[in-house]
Amino acid sequence: MNVVVIGTGYVGLVTGTCLADSGNDVTCVDIDAGKVERLKNGEIPIYEPGLEDMVRRNSAAGRLSFTTQPSACVPGAECVFIAVGTPQDEDGSADLKYVMGAAEAVAPYLRKNAIVIIKSTVPVGTNRLVKRRLDELTGRDVHIASNPEFLKEGCAIDDFMRPDRVVVGSIDPDVAETVHELYKPFLRTEKPFLKMGLESAEMTKYVANCMLATKISFINEMANLCELVGADINDVRRGIGHDQRIGFAFLFPGVGYGGSCFPKDVRALRATGKELGFETSVLHAVDDVNTRQKLVLFNKLARHFKNDLAGKKIAVWGLSFKPKTDDIRDAPSLELLRKLIAAGANVHVHDPVAVPNVQRVIGDAVTYHSHQYDTLEQAEALAIVTEWNEYRNPDFDYILHKMKSPVIFDGRNLYDLNRMTKLGFTYSGIGVTR
């Protein structure tokens, strides 16, 4: 099938590359000429394991190409995916200017019976809004489908190639069936292709992310309560997780969620409710808990140093909002760094891939290191923010040797409290007490 993907961010680039890998002819379009040139040269602007090799392989095979000009590829396309960003507006709602701009850019070149597929995360009603605009610009009845993405950064390729399900919303059953044909190579293990209305598909994406965000905020709030009552959240998590109605997924306490989806989508769905006069009380609490949770490590550090962090050397491991990505959007690390800087701490940081992105935001207010142990030289405390694999089993004897004070505040509960205490560390996790 001849496919065009508008947008080369995480969703657009992964979607286009995976569709090309299954034999389709795919052209990815982006307005950023510099990014397009880099992609043509096999340079990936984001960090996503396995994506660079897949882009290069499919480009070399002639199935994947990149351009800034919709006019060069849209006229021959059977399916046109819109996979541009929907950033958070000032009131928390999703800003649709890029989605509408993409629709208007492709409208003059759409062939008859082409399907415009909205991959971007958009509020309920957006697909119909886009359809009305396309109908107006083309003078005909344009086919449209809603196809929300469920990709996890760091595992995006596997999520696309082996999905739990594929959701498609449409008005016309024939449109849904055409999209089904496109996805059949990825559904050979009998994973479901779920057909539904446009509004239901739009809502499914938001509800999925808000449910996962709710689980994270819930376990974090319970972890904080465990510290106060003398319980261990790790024991509690095991105690509830074996209940099949609850399960273990997304019940790992930490320093809060971040990234491009959960914060934005929770607030966008809250904004939808507000527009309709409906108070989404649970989502309000989820967002509020997560905002507070990002301060947990700083508050622990401040208490340890009796609210005097000035001149204290603090090491920080992990800057990206999660492992296997360089994404720092709404990352808990940024909140910690800003608070430490404001308190006058001498901050030394490490992350396997996210340092360049943090440098663009924080600048030279902290010291960056290419090796995790280099942050520890005479450090008075270590704060762990992101659970990268290389932090899970470090050389603790060497850490004891390097640090001025063997103090660790573990925001991801990577280590066992009893073992750390025996080794000679002052150790504090999330929801873990002595």
Binding site members for NAD(+): 30, 35, 86, 121, 153, 264, 329
25: its two tokens = 């002819």
Q: Which of 18, 79, 210, 261 is catalytic?
A: 261
355: its two tokens = 């340092």
Measured CA to CA, the distance from residue 357 to residue 320 in angstroms comes to 9
**Which helix or strand (DSSP H or E) is residue 427 part of?**
strand 426-428
Residues placed in the known binding site:
30, 35, 86, 121, 150-153, 205, 250-254, 258, 264, 322, 329
Helix extents (H) in 280-405: 281-293, 296-304, 332-342, 355-362, 396-402
Strand runs labelled E in 363-417 = 367-368, 381-384, 407-410
* Phi-psi domain of 426 (left: phi exceeds 0; alpha: psi -120 through 50; beta: other): beta
Measured CA to CA, the distance from residue 414 to residue 388 in angstroms comes to 10
Largest CA distance in the chain: 75
Strand runs labelled E in 137-270 = 143-146, 166-170, 193-196
Contact indicator for 429, 255 with CB cutoff of 8 Å: no
Residues placed in the known binding site for substrate:
150-153, 205, 250-254, 258, 322
Measured CA to CA, the distance from residue 188 to residue 185 in angstroms comes to 6
Q: Enumerate residues 6+ apart whose C-beta is below 8 A from 292.
A: none
Measured CA to CA, the distance from residue 368 to residue 433 in angstroms comes to 31
Q: What size, in residues, is the chain?
A: 434
Measured CA to CA, the distance from residue 260 to residue 280 in angstroms comes to 21
Contact indicator for 28, 12 with CB cutoff of 8 Å: yes
Going by C-alpha positions, the residue among 324, 326, 322, 304 that lies closest to residue 314 is 304
345: its two tokens = 């701490």
Measured CA to CA, the distance from residue 59 to residue 26 in angstroms comes to 10
Going by C-alpha positions, the residue among 404, 401, 395, 356 that lies closest to residue 372 is 395
Contact indicator for 382, 407 with CB cutoff of 8 Å: yes
Give burial (CB, 10 Å; 0-12/13-18/19+) of 15.
buried
Adjacency order of strands within the sheet including 367-368:
367-368, 346-350, 313-317, 381-384, 407-410, 426-428
Active-site residue, 261 included: yes
Q: Could you say which DSSP state residue 322 is in?
A: S
Residues serving a catalytic function are 261
